A and B are shown apart, each in its own frame.
Chain A
Amino acid sequence: QVHLLQSGTEVKKPGATVKISCQTSEDTFNNNYINWLRQAPGQGLEWMELISPRDGITSLAQKFRDRLTVTRDPSTNTIFMELRGLRPDDTAIYYCARGYRFDYTFDSWGQGTLVTVSS
């Protein structure tokens, strides 16, 4: 079973930056895309970006291009998502999800990280 282990709950003030991690296996790190999505309370899913951890190539949704950065650490098979300029409407559960190798879907998800933005 694939495990994507995310970092814990965050509480931030408006304007702050949050950085969330998603640790994978070496095989996943080297052979799959990792995607970041979010889900506001009681709302639907929103795709944010994907990264190829092996080579660092990313693709971001237009909406987030000014304030979202995704990086990775090959030594720990970990992917990081950094969102800057937080607003209350960024309050959401943030998920990392593994891209399926044979099609454009997600075959495994992290447990989710709740980010609350409040003054």
Chain B
Amino acid sequence: IVLTQTPLSSPVTLGQPASISCRSSQSLVQSERTTSLSWLHQRPGQPPRVLIHKFSDRFSGVPDRFTGGGAGTDFTLKISRVEVEDVGVYYCMLSTQNPPMYTFGQGTRLDIK
């Protein structure tokens, strides 16, 4: 399965919304316990951290301005109001099991206009 993110770069205005798309080459069944889609955020010079897991669950401690959604082959990460700390690269990640495999989108760079 290949994950394709768009856009690859997204300049946004502080306080404005942002949206990142992640398209899967195969339809993902969210009810499958062995399949999970996550969204990760990586600030410059730091390791990534998880924002969204299980397709749409916000991870512990993640601000509620981050929302994950979608179904089938199209998934989206939305930021309701971009803040300075949100700059960096966002990745979607597909986790499948039997055997375990983790696949990443190519990343979307978010910066401030």
Chain A residues near B (Cβ < 8 Å): 35, 37, 44-47, 50, 59, 61, 95, 97, 100, 103-107, 109-112
Contact = CB atoms under 8 A, between A and B. Distances in A.
B97 A110 contact: no
B5 to A, nearest CB: 9
A100 B101 contact: no
Interface of B: 34-36, 38, 40, 47-50, 53-54, 57, 59, 91, 93, 95-97, 99-107
Nearest to B60: A107
A75 to B, nearest CB: 26
B107 A44 contact: yes
Given A44-B104, A44-B106, A107 B59 contact: yes
A100 B48 contact: no
B101 A105 contact: no
10 contacts: A35-B102, A44-B107, A50-B100, A100-B50, A104-B34, A105-B50, A106-B50, A109-B47, A109-B49, A112-B47
Interface of B is mostly: strand
A103 B94 CA distance: 12
Given A45-B48, A50-B100, A95-B47, A104 B95 contact: yes
A44 to B, nearest CB: 5
A103 B100 contact: no
Contacts of B97: 104
A46 B99 contact: no
Contacts of A35: 102
Contacts of A107: 50, 59
Contacts of B95: 104-105
Nearest to B57: A103
A73 to B, nearest CB: 22
Contacts of A47: 101-104
**A-B pairs with the 8 shortest C-beta distances?**
A104-B95, A109-B47, A47-B102, A105-B53, A105-B38, A104-B36, A59-B100, A45-B104
